[in-house]
Structure 1
Amino acid sequence: MNPRIDINLAKLKYNSNLIVEKANRFSIDVAAVTKGFCGNPVIAEAIAEGGVKYLADSRLENLLKMQHIKLEKILLRLPMLSQVKEVVKYADISLNSELETIVALNEAAKEQNKTHKIILMLDLGDLREGIFDEKELDAVIKYLLKLNNIDLVGIGTNLTCFGGVIPTKENLGELINSAKRVEETMGKPLDIISGGNSSSFYLINNSEIPPEVNHLRFGEAILLGTESTYGRDIPEAYQDTFKLVAEIIEIKTKPSVPIGEIGRDAFGNVPTFEDKGLMKRAILAVGKQDISTHTIIPCDKEAEVLGGSSDHLLMDLTHCKKDYRVGDEMIFNLTYGSMLALMTSEYVHKNYINSIE
């Protein structure tokens, strides 16, 4: 069935186990981030078999799909006040930075006769979520000690996702210093010091991760076998775990530049074109509704992505050695963004492969 995304479960399990082993050498527990595949339970089960300690997602809808997997679930996106009851019900741990929300979680946990665990997020300069001011941190910690149904199990940070700030020994050192202050106020050690996401993996590879960091949240490292700071492949990991397969629906020789006055395209942009003369052009049955504007990489190195519209992907096949015909399939490797978009699209069939080819 086309278009489809081929998902190699055996390679994902291998990657999961590899990343866990590398992290465990530094006494770091791994939370597998499942949002890249929308919490798909088949994929989550394969990754869980690799030995991760937690499953983590930004959306409660995805955590709900994985409730049957016997691992603690972490809600990555800060909870909405309107969903605190569901957060307590479906997430064992949530990341937080707003005292008002934590108080509401405490009330929801009290109603459900539960204790809800939280990781308090600190902003180390990436300027996404997290407490930025030290005085606010001190005030929040002191208030948390009064809440009977909230268990502050750790502090954490997020880097690279918005501001592109690279995790380093220096900025993670700030996290560790804050952790020590929190522990002094609480009078007990924290269970978790969460030092970021796949962008922190290079510190493991370079044996530079601070020893106090004992928890990391890995999505891309497991799913695509790459670290997200420098985009490098992780040694021994598989990068071809997810592949797009799309079918050719037209092949024609046409000019490389549209004929007529150029206006806005279907998405409001004014496109520009390079005149390469006549080219062998193919249309594939997949489009921006499925992959948005994210990068896909043709496995045929002589093929070039020209662009697309909502439902069509245009390719230049002029220099391809293979004589493509209508009905043939083309295969693409994916980036994190294109994988996420394709896994979200209901028009793309999900095909599971259970062997390492």
Structure 2
Amino acid sequence: MDVCPRIEIDLSKIRANTQVLVDRCKNAGIQVAGVTKVFCAVPQVAEAMVEGGINMLADARLENFGKIAHIPIQKLLLRLPMISQAEKVVSLVDISLNSEIATIKKLSEASIKQGKVHKIILMIDLGDLREGIWSDQIHTTIKEITQLEGVQLVGIGTNLTCYGGVIPNPTNLGQLVNIAMEIEDTFQIRMEIISGGNSSSLYLLERGEMPKAINHLRLGESIVLGRETAFGEPISGTYQDAFTLIAEIVELKEKPSVPIGEIGMDAFGNKPVFEDHGIRKRAILAIGRQDVSVNNLIPKDEKISILGASSDHLIVDVTDSLKEYSVGDEVAFDIEYGALLQLMTSEYVFKKIK
């Protein structure tokens, strides 16, 4: 019997999804950076991306780059570098996203010390209010960067939807293109990379609305889960089930649907509310909130519903299922992004690679 709980990873589906997206982006003149952070840079999954056509790998955590150091393609750091890690950034990755001149100066010092040239993508905030400089800071910042040795400004980028939920569109990405053109004219620097965001920008390709000068995207969820992230729609020709959670039933009993007694706070400080549906058959699975975002799980058995969870237990209603479950049986779940991120990070969930 396989170890439980576990997450099963189908490399053939990762490879296929990657190829579909790389081909579509290539037809539009766009390079894809495959984002490895959601699966903690498991080397086999990163290698499947490369086999699917990726020629740049990206992650937010420096620790993950050690796992994929053997893969001979460019590495991109997604999270803004910490000044305290400037030496490691230069030694582990080729390119980083930046918005602080103080950090870029430290990267310059580290690069000179290591005899390298570290590439910089300057992030522009187009309104999502996560990382990036405002447009009125661009000229001053670039002037300072160009005076530094050991670093090379190779492009600009933006991030949308991740914090503020701002959806990429021809207007805001067109603004990024205009900024790139202005930089080239003013400073005589070629913008090799104009990075138009993440998986939320993909819908513009489908509609034929992607500004033509956008030539770089950072894709994670669209590869691993086959979904664009502006509207959460499946991407045609891709798999949505490359990752599957399997959990084991440790208790199966008929119980009331409303707790007996005065209701106080649960283990997470919330006061739960229950509806009375009478006596129901309830299964307890050996996985909980310490391992997974329960709201991002979808039972493959459509007749099962999730009732709730504590740190270590997931409670589901199996009353209406056509299958007769027993203690020791396994229950499978499709996974959304939030669940995948936690499951891959949890040391208590076994990773089975197929």
Shorter chain as normaliser: what TM range? Answer: over 0.9
Question: More displaced, 276-285 or 287-296?
Answer: 287-296
The answer to whether the 8 Å contact 2:157/2:197 transfers is yes
CA drift at 1:26: 0.2
C-alpha distance in structure 1 between counterparts of 2:68 and 2:295, whole Å: 27
Match of 2:143 in 1: 142
Match of 1:177 in 2: 178
Match of 1:160 in 2: 161
The answer to whether the 8 Å contact 2:87/2:110 transfers is yes
Report SS of the residue matched to 2:66.
helix
CA drift at 1:206: 1.1
C-alpha distance in structure 1 between counterparts of 2:274 and 2:182, whole Å: 57
C-alpha distance in structure 1 between counterparts of 2:101 and 2:40, whole Å: 28
Match of 2:51 in 1: 49
Percent same amino acid among aligned pairs? 55
CA drift at 1:3: 0.4
Does residue 265 of structure 2 align to residue 272 of structure 1? no
Match of 1:8 in 2: 10
Matches within 5 A, 1:166-205: 166-205=167-206
C-alpha distance in structure 1 between counterparts of 2:186 and 2:40, whole Å: 38
The answer to whether the 8 Å contact 1:142/1:185 transfers is no
C-alpha distance in structure 2 between counterparts of 1:267 and 1:101, whole Å: 38
Report the AA paired with residue 150 of structure 1. Answer: V
Match of 2:314 in 1: 313
Report the AA paired with residue 118 of structure 1. Answer: I
C-alpha distance in structure 1 between counterparts of 2:6 and 2:181, whole Å: 49
C-alpha distance in structure 2 between counterparts of 1:156 and 1:12, whole Å: 26
Report SS of the residue matched to 1:289.
coil
Report the aligned-residue RMSD. Answer: 0.7
Match of 2:26 in 1: 24
Matches within 5 A, 1:276-287: 276-287=277-288
The answer to whether the 8 Å contact 2:13/2:239 transfers is yes
C-alpha distance in structure 2 between counterparts of 1:240 and 1:205, whole Å: 21
The alignment's TM-score, normalised by the length of structure 1, stands at: 0.98
Does residue 81 of structure 2 align to residue 90 of structure 1? no
C-alpha distance in structure 1 between counterparts of 2:174 and 2:260, whole Å: 58
C-alpha distance in structure 2 between counterparts of 1:285 and 1:268, whole Å: 22
Report SS of the residue matched to 1:65.
coil
C-alpha distance in structure 2 between counterparts of 1:294 and 1:279, whole Å: 21
Deviations 1:165-206 (A, max 9, x none): 000000001101111121123213210000000000101111
C-alpha distance in structure 2 between counterparts of 1:112 and 1:189, whole Å: 25
CA drift at 1:135: 2.8
The answer to whether the 8 Å contact 1:141/1:185 transfers is no
Report the AA paired with residue 54 of structure 1. Answer: M
C-alpha distance in structure 1 between counterparts of 2:19 and 2:320, whole Å: 40
Match of 2:38 in 1: 36
CA drift at 1:292: 3.2
Match of 2:238 in 1: 237
C-alpha distance in structure 2 between counterparts of 1:116 and 1:312, whole Å: 47
The answer to whether the 8 Å contact 2:288/2:294 transfers is no
C-alpha distance in structure 1 between counterparts of 2:146 and 2:337, whole Å: 39
Report the AA paired with residue 97 of structure 1. Answer: S
CA drift at 1:293: 4.1
C-alpha distance in structure 2 between counterparts of 1:122 and 1:280, whole Å: 53
The answer to whether the 8 Å contact 1:126/1:162 transfers is yes
Report the AA paired with residue 300 of structure 1. Answer: D
Report the AA paired with residue 195 of structure 2. Answer: S
C-alpha distance in structure 1 between counterparts of 2:319 and 2:201, whole Å: 41
Match of 2:63 in 1: 61
CA drift at 1:207: 1.3
Matches within 5 A, 1:68-147: 68-132=70-134, 134-147=135-148
The answer to whether the 8 Å contact 2:5/2:350 transfers is yes
Report the AA paired with residue 268 of structure 1. Answer: G
Matches within 5 A, 1:288-303: 288-303=289-304
CA drift at 1:64: 1.5
The answer to whether the 8 Å contact 1:168/1:203 transfers is yes
C-alpha distance in structure 1 between counterparts of 2:330 and 2:8, whole Å: 13
Report SS of the residue matched to 1:288.
coil
Match of 1:222 in 2: 223
C-alpha distance in structure 1 between counterparts of 2:21 and 2:347, whole Å: 30
C-alpha distance in structure 2 between counterparts of 1:194 and 1:51, whole Å: 18
CA drift at 1:130: 0.2
